[in-house]
């Protein structure tokens, strides 16, 4: 296994941050509900990277980081399932899942 000796923790954090911002950009840019959910999935993964990196580099935490990453996974899965179910319903009822039309909840 390629041990990750040479890579400092900071790089992982930067990668996580970059991936998070890309996910955010995806969520904000897209006008299609599903795409937004995908963006959110990416952001969640970015968080996982950080968690695992912390668990591996920081002595005090032990492997809490990885355990927590598992929970993030669980939540992400549940969120994806319910989110997409709702998107399907909206598309059926409204015939569209463009964010602009779905704005009944405005002020």
Partner 1 sequence: MNWPMVAFVVLGGITVYSGWRVATAPLVTHAALFLAVTFAGVGGLFFLLQADFLAAVQLLLYAGAVMTVVIFAIMLSEMKDIEEPRPRGWLGALRSPSLGALPFIGAVLLFAVMLVVYLRGAPALPVTPLPAPTNSTVFIAGALFKIYALPFEVASVLLLAAMIGAIILTRVEGGRRR
Partner 2 sequence: MLNTPPCVGSCSEFPRLPRAGRRGADASTVCAPAAAPLGAEKAVTCLLSLGWLVPLLALLGYVGHVFLGQRAKQWSALFGIVALALGFALSVGMLAQTIGGASIDVSVPWLSMGGINVPMGFSIGPLQAVMLTMVTFVSCFIEIYSMGYMKGDIRYNRFFANVTLFVAGMLTAVVANNFILFFAAWEIMGLCSYLLIGHWFEDPANGRAATKAFLVTRIGDVGLLLGIWWCFTLTHTFQFAALPGDLAALHLPAATLNAIALLIFLGAVGKSAQVPLQIWLPDAMAGPTPISALIHAATMVAAGVYLVARTYPIFQMAPSALFWVGLVGAVSAFIPATIACVQTDIKKVLAYSTISQLGYMMLGLGVGAMEAGIFHLLTHAFFKALLFLAAGSVIHAAGTQNMHEMGGLWKKQRWTAATFIIGSLALAAIPPMSGFFSKDAILAAAYVSPDPVFYWLGTVAAGLTAYYMTRVVLMTFFGSPRSEHVYEHAHESPAVMVVPLVVLAVPAAALGLAAGFLRHLLAPGYIKPDVGLIEFVPLLFAIAGFLWAYALYTAPLARRAALLRSPLIAAPYTLFKQLWFFDHAGSVVTYVLGLGPSFVIGAFDRYVVDGLVNACGSLCLWLGRMCRRLSVGNAQAYMLTIAVAVVIGLVALQFQAMGG
Q: Which of residues 73-102 bind partner 2 (CB under 8 A)?
A: 99-100, 102
What Cα–Cα distance (Å) separates residue 105 from each residue in 9, 91, 99, 100? Answer: 43, 16, 12, 11
Give me the least distance between CB of 3 and partner 1, in Å please. Answer: 6
- Binding partner selected for residue 71 from partner 2, partner 1, none, CB under the kind-specific 5 to 8 Å limit: partner 1
Q: From the list partner 1, partner 2, none, which binds 50 (C-beta under 5 to 8 Å, kind-based)? A: none
Q: How far is the CB of 28 from partner 2 (least distance, A)?
A: 5
Check residue 28 for interaction with partner 1 (CB under 8 A).
yes
Q: Which partner from the list partner 2, partner 1, none does 10 bind, CB cut-off 5 to 8 Å by kind?
A: partner 1
């Amino acid at each position: 296994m390629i041990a990750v000796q040479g890579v400092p923790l900071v790089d992982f954090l930067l990668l996580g941050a970059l991936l998070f911002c890309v996910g955010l950009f995806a969520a904000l840019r897209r006008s299609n509900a599903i795409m937004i959910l995908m963006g959110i999935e990416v952001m969640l993964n970015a968080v996982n990277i950080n968690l695992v990196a912390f668990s591996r580099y920081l002595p005090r935490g032990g492997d809490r980081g990885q355990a927590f990453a598992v929970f993030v996974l669980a939540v992400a899965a549940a969120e994806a399932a319910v989110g997409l179910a709702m998107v399907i319903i909206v598309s059926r009822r409204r015939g569209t899942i463009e964010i602009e039309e779905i704005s009944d909840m405005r002020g």
